[in-house]
């Protein structure tokens, strides 16, 4: 694993050198794409890197993050902390290996301008678990991790863009006869989305609740909560 800020990641992440390097290009897009309500920035980065028809890093594994020991915490970089859910959803479901910098699972703050001690504080575990700065964030990340573990297609499937506007974005991770479909919304109002399924699914279920989801003519018609996300699992031949 190597830390690389810019340049051609393929020079270092390859069979002769490193398994993975830090994806700073995606890191920048994940927060600025929400601050600017501009999902085109994030989608352009992923299309360039991992699109199934020409991404320059297809087949390589990059290390995804939203903060680390050298940059400000994500809660300080975001202009609206309500965007934490869609930001982390993208980090967990877009191509790459997701990572959480210690303390950020509770939403602790830390600005680079205040020096290394602000980015690398000691944490009183008992106290922070009783009074987390962002209540519910750790539980949400746990749910994302559970989805990724139980449905490996989220981490291993081919990437395909499905819907893209400034404020809504949907894509699929596609395997053999199965796919995960992810939709995010950076608007503070709920959004109606029509999403064309990437395969001839016979069954679609909500990954958080496990409940079946209705589809019509190969499309999902879903309501994505404001500053929220939806995750679905599609299967061609249900057991």
pLDDT computed for residue 133 by the predictor: 97
pLDDT computed for residue 6 by the predictor: 86
22 and 114 housed in the same domain: yes
DSSP 206: E
18 and 83 housed in the same domain: yes
What's the rounded mean pLDDT across residues 179-195?
97
The residue out of 109, 126, 150 marking a domain boundary is: 150
**1: in domain:** no
Is a pLDDT exceeding 80 seen at residue 19? Answer: yes
Percent of the chain with pLDDT over 90: 88
CATH number at residue 208: 2.60.40.1180
Task: Return the H-helix or E-strand segment holding 50.
Answer: helix 39-50
Distance CA 157, CA 180 (A): 8
Kindly give the pairing relationship between strand 219-224 and strand 191-196: antiparallel
Task: Return the H-helix or E-strand segment holding 195.
Answer: strand 191-196
Taking the CA atoms of the chain, what radius of gyration do you get in angstroms? 18
**57: in domain:** yes
* Of the candidate ranges 69-73, 179-183, 191-195, 215-219, the one whose mean pLDDT is the lowest: 215-219
Cα distances from 207 to residues 59, 69, 198, 237, in angstroms, run 26, 32, 17, 17
* Of the candidate ranges 16-20, 30-34, 86-90, 167-171, the one whose mean pLDDT is the lowest: 16-20
**4: in domain:** no
CATH number at residue 121: 3.20.20.80
pLDDT tens string 97-147: 999 999 999 999 999 999 999 999 999 999 999 999 999 999 999 999 999
128 and 207 housed in the same domain: no
**94: in domain:** yes
17 and 128 housed in the same domain: yes
Q: What is the DSSP secondary-structure string of 59-114?
A: T---EE-S--TTS--HHHH-S-GGGHHHHHHHHHHSSSEE---TTGGGT----GGG
Percent of the chain with pLDDT over 70: 99
**222: in domain:** yes
The residue out of 150, 183, 205 marking a domain boundary is: 150
Is a pLDDT exceeding 70 seen at residue 237? Answer: yes
Cα distances from 13 to residues 23, 48, 70, 134, 135, in angstroms, run 11, 16, 21, 35, 37
Count of C-beta atoms within a 10 Å radius of residue 96: 24
If one counts the domains in the chain, the total is: 2
23 and 109 housed in the same domain: yes
Give this prediction's pTM: 0.95
Q: Round the average pLDDT of the chain to a whole number and report it.
A: 95
pLDDT tens string 175-185: 999 999 999 99
Dihedral through CA 140, CA 213, CA 170, CA 61, nearest 10?
60
Cα distances from 193 to residues 78, 80, 156, 225, in angstroms, run 25, 23, 25, 11
Structural domain boundaries, residue 23:
9-150
172 and 142 housed in the same domain: no
The residue out of 105, 126, 150 marking a domain boundary is: 150
pLDDT computed for residue 239 by the predictor: 64
Count of C-beta atoms within a 10 Å radius of residue 11: 11
70 and 128 housed in the same domain: yes
43 and 109 housed in the same domain: yes
**3: in domain:** no
pLDDT computed for residue 54 by the predictor: 83
What's the rounded mean pLDDT across residues 145-155?
96
pLDDT computed for residue 7 by the predictor: 87
**2: in domain:** no
* Of the candidate ranges 35-39, 68-72, 216-220, the one whose mean pLDDT is the lowest: 216-220
């Amino acid at each position: 694993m190597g830390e690389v800020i810019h340049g051609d990641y393929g020079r270092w992440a390859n069979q002769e050198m490193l398994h993975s390097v830090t994806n700073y290009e995606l890191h920048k897009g994940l927060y600025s794409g929400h601050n600017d309500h501009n999902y085109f920035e994030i989608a352009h980065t992923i299309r360039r890197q991992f699109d199934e028809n020409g991404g320059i890093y297809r087949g390589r594994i990059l290390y995804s993050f939203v903060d680390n020991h050298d940059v400000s915490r994500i809660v300080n970089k975001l202009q609206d902390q309500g965007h934490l859910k869609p930001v982390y959803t993208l980090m967990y479901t877009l191509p790459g290996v997701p990572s959480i910098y210690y303390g950020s699972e509770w939403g602790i703050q830390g600005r680079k301008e205040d020096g290394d001690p602000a980015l690398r504080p000691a944490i009183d575990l008992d106290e922070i678990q009783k009074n987390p700065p962002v209540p519910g964030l750790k539980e949400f990340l746990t749910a994302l991790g559970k989805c990724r573990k139980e449905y490996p297609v989220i981490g291993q499937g081919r990437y395909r863009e499905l819907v893209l506007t400034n404020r809504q974005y949907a894509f699929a991770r596609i395997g053999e006869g199965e796919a995960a479909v992810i939709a995010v919304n950076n608007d503070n109002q709920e959004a109606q989305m029509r999403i064309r399924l990437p395969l001839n699914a016979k069954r679609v279920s909500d990954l958080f609740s496990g409940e079946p989801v209705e589809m019509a003519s190969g499309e999902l018609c879903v309501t994505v909560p404001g500053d929220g996300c939806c995750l679905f699992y599609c299967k061609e031949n249900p057991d």
